[in-house]
Amino acid sequence: MKLELTACPVCGCSINKIREDWDGSFKNQKYVVPDLEYYRCKNCGEEVYPREAMQKNEACSPAFRTLTSAE
């Protein structure tokens, strides 16, 4: 089952799903998640990430990269 979010959980305004390259950073390391789909409220700026977006984000984030060498 796929849940679609229709209203902002913060202000209750209608919220739109957007799809764009998402810039993130982790410990000063910048990374980009291409074509990330998530919701952003035009009214208050709240951003909501569906589970798929979180998984995609984690797949691209250095925070979740497989450890090759521990310090």
Binding residues for Zn ion, rule: CB under 5 A, are 8, 10-11, 13, 41, 43-44, 46
Least separation in angstroms between residue 13's CB and Zn ion is 5
Residue 18 or 44 with smaller CB distance to Zn ion: 44
Q: Report long-range pairs for 9-17 (Cβ below 8 Å, ≥24 apart).
A: 9/46, 9/48, 10/41, 10/44, 10/46, 11/41, 11/43, 11/44, 11/46, 13/41, 13/42, 13/43, 13/44, 15/39, 15/40, 15/41, 15/42, 15/46, 15/48, 16/40, 16/41, 16/42
Residue number, 37 or 46, with CB nearest to Zn ion: 46
Considering beta carbons, is residue 10 or 18 the nearer one to Zn ion? 10
